[in-house]
Amino acid sequence: MSQLDEQRGKRSDGIAIELVGLNKRYGDVTALDGVSLTVREGEIFGFLGPNGAGKSTTIDILLDFVRPSAGTATVLGYDAQTDSLAVRQAVGVLPDGYHLYDRLTARQHLEFAIASKSSDDDPIELLERVGIADAADRKAGGFSKGMRQRLVLAMALAGSPELLILDEPSTGLDPNGAREMRDIIRAERDRGATVFFSSHILEQVEAVCDRVGILRNGELVAVDTIDALRDALGTDARLVLTVESVTDDMVGAVATLPDVTGVRADGERRLTVSCASDAKSAVIRAVEAAGGTVVDFDVEETSLEEMFAAYTTDEYPATNSEGEGDSGLVTPSADGEEVRA
Ligand SMILES: Nc1ncnc2c1ncn2[C@@H]1O[C@H](COP(=O)(O)OP(=O)(O)OP(=O)(O)O)[C@@H](O)[C@H]1O
């Protein structure tokens, strides 16, 4: 039986975090509005949303720093309010704006974190994992922002917790630090831990998350894998083909494919095709069936920023598979006029 299996003990539901109908009001401000969410054991779950969406409030409720106005939060089978001590004992936390003791060294911070988890970790080994072992005996007061962040992460890892809750873990980290953070998150998942983290850094989220939840104005507007969220928007992929020579037959053959919404000939050798993500190979086959030779191709998917904007703002003109919106691509007709495919 692994250490994590032992920690899981009586639980067998496979659920790490469960929120049901969570509401939080601060006076007139509704910070959370009926949030229900299940995070499974062993997954890396990214919690996204614009500033003020309610991410920190949710995390604060999980850790009982804030009480909900309504609804329940369960963490590793414990009620976040009535069993908050058990939750804090079992969870590794990297909170937003954690306070370090400026006069204590990194090693002393780790010794404190290890003792509070009743574990027998080696402080230096934890500091090595986050890349600041050489500063073990320096006082935290002199640490840079990124070093402070790494130290708090090392403290969160103490006791090999079953669940890590990380609020904006990449804040203050340089690109190497952000990469190391991703490696640590993956290593924790590989160990069997669940990782729940909030972030604004979409590339970071895409690189490591199994699923994401997107909050907007206190409401959970989407929960899925990033690929599924992209597909759900129905925004097309753009396929840019380089062929030996563009012909009208080729353009016509591609334009009549069911999942193609636009074709444009750019010069004599380039075809830009707007189509559903899974129609790309059909496009290439149609070009070849029309006698063309594909020399090269490139795919442009919906960017993460576009996807995030589509879920979190009203302004974004999301295209959908029924053809609403504007793919911006038009097909040249035989007589030289341009028509929409
Ligand atoms: N203590 C508080 N008193 C009053 N309003 C609060 C308090 N804490 C949060 N809020 C409000 O609740 C809403 C959600 O804030 P929260 O900090 O949870 O958002 P967030 O998604 O973490 O934002 P950010 O990405 O900027 O950290 C905001 O409108 C915020 O102003």
Nearest CA to ligand 1 atom 12: 31
Residue 216, C-beta contacts closer than 8 angstroms, at least 6 positions apart: 49, 50, 53, 311, 312
The model carries a pTM of 0.76
Res 327 pLDDT > 50: no
Find the mean pLDDT for residues 1-19: 70
Percent of the chain with pLDDT over 70: 87
State the chain's mean pLDDT as an integer.
Answer: 85
pLDDT tens digits, residue range 154-211?
Answer: 999 999 999 999 998 888 788 888 888 898 899 999 999 999 999 877 888 888 999 9
Q: How far is 284 from 298, CA to CA, in rounded Å? A: 12
- Determine the atom of ligand 1 nearest the C-alpha atom of 215: 21
Find the mean pLDDT for residues 130-138: 94
Where are the chain's structural domains?
Answer: 3-224, 236-301
pLDDT of residue 63: 93
pLDDT of residue 4: 60
Find the mean pLDDT for residues 3-21: 75
> How many angstroms separate the alpha carbon of residue 52 from the centre of ligand 1?
5
Q: What is the band of 8 on the pLDDT scale with cuts at 50, 70, 90?
A: low
pLDDT of residue 332: 32
Strands (DSSP E) found in the chain: 15-26, 29-40, 44-48, 70-75, 78-79, 91-94, 163-167, 194-198, 211-216, 219-224, 237-243, 260-266, 270-275, 294-300, 331-332, 338-339
Cβ–ligand 1 distance for 213 under 6 Å, the answer no
Q: What is the band of 9 on the pLDDT scale with cuts at 50, 70, 90?
A: low
pLDDT of residue 3: 57
Find the mean pLDDT for residues 223-243: 83
Cβ–ligand 1 distance for 49 under 6 Å, the answer yes
pLDDT tens digits, residue range 136-154?
Answer: 999 999 998 889 989 999 9
List 93's β-bridge partners, or say none: 165
> How many angstroms separate the alpha carbon of residue 325 from the centre of ligand 1?
33
Find the mean pLDDT for residues 123-145: 94
* Same-fold call for 3-224 versus 236-301: no
Nearest CA to ligand 1 atom 3: 26
User: CATH fold of 3-224, please?
Assistant: Rossmann fold (3.40.50)
Distant-in-sequence contacts of 318-324, Cβ < 8 A, 24+ apart: 318/233, 318/234, 318/235, 319/233, 319/234, 319/235, 319/236, 320/233, 320/234, 320/235, 321/234, 321/276, 322/234, 323/261
Res 38 pLDDT > 70: yes
Percent of the chain with pLDDT over 90: 57
Nearest CA to ligand 1 atom 16: 54
Find the mean pLDDT for residues 126-131: 93
pLDDT tens digits, residue range 196-219?
Answer: 999 877 888 888 999 999 999 999
Res 244 pLDDT > 50: yes
Res 61 pLDDT > 70: yes
pLDDT of residue 251: 93
Q: What is the band of 275 on the pLDDT scale with cuts at 50, 70, 90?
A: confident
Nearest CA to ligand 1 atom 5: 26
Cβ–ligand 1 distance for 220 under 6 Å, the answer no
Q: What is the band of 334 on the pLDDT scale with cuts at 50, 70, 90?
A: very low
> How many angstroms separate the alpha carbon of residue 27 from the centre of ligand 1?
12
Top-ranked range on mean pLDDT: pick from 205-219, 296-310, 324-338 = 205-219
CATH architecture of 236-301: 2-Layer Sandwich (3.30)
